[in-house]
Structure 1
Amino acid sequence: MRALVLNCTLKPSPGESNTDLLADVVVEALQEEKVDVDRVRLADLTIKPGVSSDEGTGDDWPGIHQQLLDSEILVVATPTWVGRPSSIAQRMLERMDAMLSETDDEGRPVAYNKVAGIVVTGNEDGAHHVISEICGGLVDIGYTIPGQAWTYWNKGPGPGPSYSETDEGHDWSAKTGRAMASNLVAVARALAANPVPAPPG
């Protein structure tokens, strides 16, 4: 089984990503379940605006699209900015929109029988709103979202330290992240054994 982690931080490598640090917890838990994990920081790539799987010369999205097709598990990791997912997370969803019209050999949308979860960090409030925004888009595209398939760390209202600058709340976020990984694997295995069929004609 393979998982893909798409980090939607606004910081290109090698800048420190608080979102990446919390995603580490989920990645380690997935690897303990014998899942192969690929990680991509989308800010390092050229992701052109658009709603197709290939927007032409210089577009790095086709490689990500192939990784999405090759993975049973997707983890979207995003910071909270002004109470919302990052602009990169929004562009990711816009590009994934093309998957709605792509089908497999049995006529199913290509995201069917794949599961997804969300990791959110931010030194402000809004994590539940960010989770609902990302989950809503992924469900539209065809992903299955298991129960409690998310973890987050948000400092709360007003300015404050980032995830890497304090230990406050880390234990809860890590425990929730491990539960998220367990639930993702359990549902991915269930779908592999009993796939969702193609939609009726």
Structure 2
Amino acid sequence: MTLRAIVLGCSLKSSDEPSSSELLGREVLTALADHDVDGEFVRVADHHVKFGVTTDEGDGDEWPVIRAKIMDAQILVVATPIWMGQPSSVCKMVLERLDAELSETDEQGRMSTFGKVAAVAVVGNEDGAHHVVAEVLQALNDVGFTAAAAGSTYWVGEAMGSVDYRDAGPKPDTTGSATKTLAANTAHLAHLLAKEPYPPAA
């Protein structure tokens, strides 16, 4: 069975500018392809996503288009830079929009995100990768996603430095190794959940 993944790039920049978080997110997609997973990368800043906590805020809101891609996928990867030790504001907006999934349930009372597996990719030039991973994975778990063991990858450059991940060169024994583990475990769990869904809600 071939599964589907979507990577949401939460750079503050649109696609006309290079992004290290996009690079790492695309590396995750490449690694997932080795485990019967195809997918796509979406730069959230390219879309008019309104602030809010519903599935559709109306008046030109483009979140429903992105949400449809999430619903069609078995794997969601959030790729975010670190700003001031925190996930980017775009990432936080994505999490706020996903809050709507708390009330989206099937006929057996399960959230529509049950059975989907989440992972996180983080880049930055300051400390805080573990904090960002913790915030994002906890939020995604709260709204129904499952996280695999070692379901994150990151690269953090020198504090207050100016070298981005895309300029730092390959890191096969560190970030690259973590990305491969993320992909293997995330795909494994997603395949298991596709075959054996969670039980009905109590």
TM-score normalised according to structure 2 size:
0.95
Deviation at 1:34, TM superposition (A): 2.2
- Equivalent residue, structure 1, for 2:20: 18
Aligned partner of 1:141 in structure 2 is 143
Identify which of 180, 186, 189 aligns with 1:187. Answer: 189
Gaps of 5+ in 1: none
CA distance in 1, matches of 2:83, 2:164: 12
Which of 121, 125, 133 matches 2:123?
A: 121
TM-score (norm 1): 0.95
Partners of 2:61 and 2:113 lie apart in 1 by 21
Distance of 1:47 and 1:187 partners within structure 2:
30
2:152 maps to 150
Q: Output the CA distance in 1 between the equivalents of 2:61 and 2:34.
A: 34
Percent sequence identity is: 43
Distance 1:32 1:156 in 2: 31
1: CA distance, partners of 2:171 / 2:106: 42
Equivalent residue letter for 1:63: V
Q: CA RMSD in A?
A: 1.3
More displaced stretch, 32-41 vs 58-67: 32-41
Q: What is the rounded CA distance, in whole Å, between the counterparts of 1:5 and 1:22 in structure 2?
A: 10
Question: Secondary structure of 1:37's partner?
Answer: strand
Q: 1:131-161 CA distances to partner (integer Å, 9 max, x unpaired)?
A: 0010110010010011101000001433341
Q: How many angstroms does 1:39 deviate by?
A: 1.2
Shift of residue 169 of structure 1?
A: 4.3
Q: What amino acid is aligned across from residue 11 of structure 1 in structure 2? A: K
What is the SS of the residue equivalent to 2:93? helix
Point out where structure 2 has 5 or more consecutive residues left out of the alignment.
none
Runs of 4+ in 1 over 2 A off after TM superposition: 104-107, 156-160, 167-171
Mapping of residues 161-180 of structure 1, within 5 Å: 161-167=163-169, 169=171, 171-180=173-182
C-alpha distance in 2 between matches for 1:110 and 1:168: 37
Distance in 2, Cα, partners of 1:100 & 1:120: 25
Report the 3-state secondary structure (helix = DSSP H, G, I; strand = E; otherwise coil) of the residue aligned with 1:51.
coil
User: Residue 5 of structure 1 corresponds to which residue in structure 2?
Assistant: 7
